[in-house]
Amino acid sequence: MNTFGQLLRVTTFGESHGPAIGCVIDGCPPGIAISPEDFAHDLARRATGRTRHTSARHEADEVEILSGVYEGKTTGTPIALLIRNTDARSKDYANIAAQFRPGHADYTYWQKYGARDPRGGGRSSARETTMRVSAAVIAKKWLAEKYGVSVRGHLAQIGDVLPRTFDVAAIETNPFFWPDAGQVSELESFMDALRKSGDSVGARIVVVADGVPPGWGEPVYGKLDAELAAAMMSINAVKGVEIGDGFASVAQKGSEHRDEATRGGFLSNHAGGILGGISSGQRIVVSVAFKPTSSLRLPVRGLDVDGNEVEIVVTGRHDPCVGIRATPICEAMLALVLMDQALRHRAQCGEVGEVSPRIPPGKPG
């Protein structure tokens, strides 16, 4: 189960401090123009070492295309991508190989497999997400070129800090993917104080997709929202997922929540663009909760592999907020789910074509 997707299938492999990480993308349509340079932008957005607010690990993150592309275009055969691990300082982790770090997967891997690769968290490291981001570069491109679908995300909360305004143009101008440019220096101070304290905080990311045609998704277990929930929850440190109004729906009235429609379009988007598991043509809206980083230099009580109680202190390079660079990862999962569902839709409903009437997206919500 290191494979994601039904028809666009992404299989990832690799440990944080092994020789390499990589993926195989199977089921990709032929004829998509792809070059190694295409991966650079989103990998840089996700990269560690980008600001003083994220982990100091520096990886070149150069993607090698091993297969599936000929003369610059996908051929329909599996596309293998590889990134060598070049800055993996395993010695940082040597002292905790025999301990179970609270909040980490050390204990659960140990219990499942009877052993674990302790170097940098091994397979449980978020380094695996470089491959999600890489694979999604192809998905984003195909969705944009073929359907005009665009996918983007932003940081919607960090700790108890909320954006005061929302300016979509601000998001890509600061290292936090924060929609309020005027708050950036405040956020920097917040992060500096946090780092000094040795502690960490959680974050909330919102990702949206515009231009998704109505009809993508499946009725029961393959619901578009069900697969988005799994996709987001499969990202390291995620503890909650909402579609549209999410948990706010609990206290809403039905007369408030249901989105009215006119010929001019939907008048609201409480649903987040999905009804009955199928896209409505409105903006797809997903909100994702990230827990605070568990690797802290503040000591914590835990056990070692012999069952002794120990005080655990995690040194090494760690982000005080893993959510800061999670925006491109959430975008990646959204794009991969959408492309997979698009392929599945045309498999089953290829003869249906465009159905009338079509309600314009209206209010994005």
Q: Which residues pair with 288 in a beta bridge?
A: 205, 241
CB 227 within 8 A of CB 234: no
236 among annotated binding-site residues = yes
Identity of the residue, 169 or 311, whose beta carbon is nearer to a copy of itself in the bound complex = 311
294 among annotated binding-site residues = yes
Identity of the residue, 71 or 169, whose beta carbon is nearer to a copy of itself in the bound complex = 71
Cβ-count burial 251-288 (b if 16+ within 10 Å, e if not): eeeeeeeebebeeeebebbbbbbbbebbbbbbbbbbbb
Identity of the residue, 170 or 343, whose beta carbon is nearer to a copy of itself in the bound complex = 343
Q: For tokens 């003083």, name the residue.
A: 52
Identity of the residue, 47 or 241, whose beta carbon is nearer to a copy of itself in the bound complex = 241
User: Minimal distance in Å, beta carbon 251 to a copy of itself?
Assistant: 5
User: Minimal distance in Å, beta carbon 50 to a copy of itself?
Assistant: 21
27 among annotated binding-site residues = no
User: Minimal distance in Å, beta carbon 219 to a copy of itself?
Assistant: 5
For the stretch 298-302, contacts whose Cβ atoms lie closer than 8 Å and that sit 24 or more positions apart, written own/partner, are 298/198, 298/199, 300/101, 300/102, 301/102, 302/99, 302/100, 302/101, 302/102
Identity of the residue, 15 or 180, whose beta carbon is nearer to a copy of itself in the bound complex = 15
Identity of the residue, 170 or 286, whose beta carbon is nearer to a copy of itself in the bound complex = 286
344 among annotated binding-site residues = no
CB 70 within 8 A of CB 160: no
Q: What tokens were used for 15?
A: 């440990």
Phi-psi region of 272 (alpha: psi -120 to 50; beta: other; left: phi over 0): left
Provide the 8-state DSSP code for 326. Answer: -
185 among annotated binding-site residues = no
CA 341 from chain center: how many Å? Answer: 17
User: Minimal distance in Å, beta carbon 56 to a copy of itself?
Assistant: 18
User: Minimal distance in Å, beta carbon 44 to a copy of itself?
Assistant: 23
User: Minimal distance in Å, beta carbon 335 to a copy of itself?
Assistant: 15
75 among annotated binding-site residues = no
Provide the 8-state DSSP code for 281. Answer: S
Q: Phi, psi (5° rounding) for residue 37?
A: -70, -25
255 among annotated binding-site residues = no
Identity of the residue, 169 or 221, whose beta carbon is nearer to a copy of itself in the bound complex = 221
Residue 328 sits at the vertex; the CA angle it makes with 137 and 180, to the nearest 5 degrees, is 135
CB 285 within 8 A of CB 192: no
User: Minimal distance in Å, beta carbon 197 to a copy of itself?
Assistant: 9
CB 21 within 8 A of CB 13: yes
44 among annotated binding-site residues = no
Cite the annotated binding site for FMN by residue number: 123-125, 236-237, 276, 291-295, 317
Cite the annotated binding site for NADP(+) by residue number: 46, 52
Cite the annotated binding site by residue number: 46, 52, 123-125, 236-237, 276, 291-295, 317
